[in-house]
Amino acid sequence: MSENKLPADPLSLILGIIALVLGIAGCCCYGVTAVITLILGIIGLVIANKSLKVYAENSEEYSEVSRSNVSMARVINIIAVVLNGLIVLAYGVLFIVYGTFLSSEIMDAYKNGEFNTEDPYEWETDSIYDYEEGYEYDKIEVDTIETDSTIIYEIKEIETIEN
């Protein structure tokens, strides 16, 4: 018996552990990471199955420890795929049901005329807006700086310096 490792000995195990840990952590994040970890678990499972087929064809070339590691990785990847598949399925159903209820409530409110299109901001309670101060909206203020005369004055000043 040889001491050679199977091709997926460390890789499949690493992918399975990452998929399992991030899949469990993804439950707290509304299943956002579950799709990525589901893909990682499937990749790890495919790699482990290919390595086990290679071991079945030539068991003399590879060590028993390496086969054991790949078998363990296969089990971990199966658990990760099942767990992450359930998480993706559960959150998918949750979002579909929630979206259906939300959209039907919005449509019912719109059809019944209960849909409020007014601005919810109350200007009366705004501390910046002062009702006592009178505003004249039709008054136009003109800038007090006359730029044309300033430019002409500077040109004359430059001309006197050059002469």
At 140-159, the pLDDT tens digits run: 555 556 666 666 667 777 77
Amino acid letter at 24?
Answer: I
Cα Rg, the chain, nearest whole Å: 36
4: β partners: 62
Q: Give pLDDT, residue 79.
A: 94
More confident site: 31 or 94: 94
CA–centroid distance for 52 within its chain: 36
Residue in this structure with the two tokens 């019944």, named with its chain if needed: 112
Q: Who contacts 1 (Cβ-Cβ below 8 Å, separation ≥6)?
A: 60, 63, 64
Q: Who contacts 55 (Cβ-Cβ below 8 Å, separation ≥6)?
A: 6, 62, 66, 67, 70
Q: Who contacts 88 (Cβ-Cβ below 8 Å, separation ≥6)?
A: 31, 34, 35, 38
pLDDT-derived band at 123 (thresholds 50, 70, 90) equals low
pLDDT-derived band at 7 (thresholds 50, 70, 90) equals confident
Mean pLDDT throughout 25-31? 77
Q: Give pLDDT, residue 63.
A: 87
Q: Give pLDDT, residue 30.
A: 74
pLDDT-derived band at 2 (thresholds 50, 70, 90) equals low
As a whole number, the mean pLDDT across the chain is: 79
Q: Give pLDDT, residue 42.
A: 93
* Token pair recorded at residue 86: 């359930």
Indicate yes or no: pTM above 0.85.
no
Classify residue 114 as exposed, middle or buried by CB count within 10 Å of its CB (0-12, 13-18, 19+): exposed
Interatomic CA distance for residues 130 and 135, integer angstroms:
10
Residues 63-119: pLDDT tens digits?
Answer: 888 889 999 999 999 999 999 999 889 888 988 888 888 888 777 777 777 666 666
